């Protein structure tokens, strides 16, 4: 288990974009994990809310890391869908992702994003998507069928 934490934290720290934003690994077990991100002004859109793109990034990352818990570290997000529920203004964003189903080459995962500002957690967004093992996707990276 300590190994999973180390691998996940290592992968996160190896992402320049996650370093730019300030994402941290908050919790991880065999089928789920939580990423967190402290809200600051640089992460906002023009109405003062956290930019939806920040929430999306966090969902994308948490889904991928959840998939890696089953598929191993060489994974990419194939697709996902997100519903925004409430704007986030201040405090900390937490994205909790879990594996719903995993085969040999891909996993279906779900993610809930909360915001907490010292008090109760409020649900900000829900998402669902597919994670692929990269080795299985290698042929996809240089497809023969596309111009």
Q: By rule CB under 8 A, what string of x and - marks binding of each residue 94-133 to a second copy?
A: ------xxxxxxx-x-x------------x--xxxxx---
Per CB under 8 A, 88 contacts a second copy: no
Q: Which residue, 4 or 136, is less far from a second copy as judged by CB?
A: 136
Per CB under 8 A, 34 contacts a second copy: no
Per CB under 8 A, 42 contacts a second copy: yes
| Residue 60 dihedral angles phi and psi, to the nearest 5° | -55, -45
- Which residues, other chains included, contact 104 with Cβ-Cβ below 8 Å and sequence gap of 6+? 133
Min CB(114)–a second copy separation in Å: 12
Per CB under 8 A, 7 contacts a second copy: no
| Neighbour tally for 136: CB within 10 Å | 14
Per CB under 8 A, 35 contacts a second copy: no
Q: Which residue, 26 or 122, is less far from a second copy as judged by CB?
A: 122
Question: How far is residue 90's CA from residue 108's CA, in Å, rounded to a whole number?
Answer: 30
Residues 107-111: contacts with CB under 8 Å, at least 24 apart: 107/66, 107/67, 107/70, 107/71, 107/131, 109/63, 109/66, 109/67, 110/63, 111/59, 111/62, 111/63, 111/66
Residue ranges in contact with a second copy by CB under 8 A: 11, 14-20, 41-47, 49, 51-54, 56-61, 64, 70, 76-87, 100-106, 108, 110, 123, 126-130, 134, 136-137, 139-141, 143-146
């Amino acid at each position: 288990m300590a190994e999973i934490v180390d691998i996940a934290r290592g992968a996160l720290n190896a992402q320049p974009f996650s370093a730019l934003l300030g994402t941290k690994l908050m919790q991880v077990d065999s089928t789920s994990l939580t990423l967190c991100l402290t809200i600051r002004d640089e992460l906002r859109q023009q109405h003062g809310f956290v930019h939806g793109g920040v929430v999306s990034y966090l969902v994308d990352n948490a889904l991928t890391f959840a998939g890696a818990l089953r598929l191993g570290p060489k994974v990419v997000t194939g697709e996902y869908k997100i519903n925004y529920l409430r704007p986030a203004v201040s405090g900390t964003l937490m994205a909790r992702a879990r594996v719903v189903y995993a085969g040999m080459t891909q996993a279906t995962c779900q993610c809930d994003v909360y915001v907490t500002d010292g008090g109760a957690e409020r649900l900000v967004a829900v998402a669902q998507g597919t994670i692929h093992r990269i080795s299985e996707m290698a042929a996809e990276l240089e497809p023969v069928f596309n111009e």
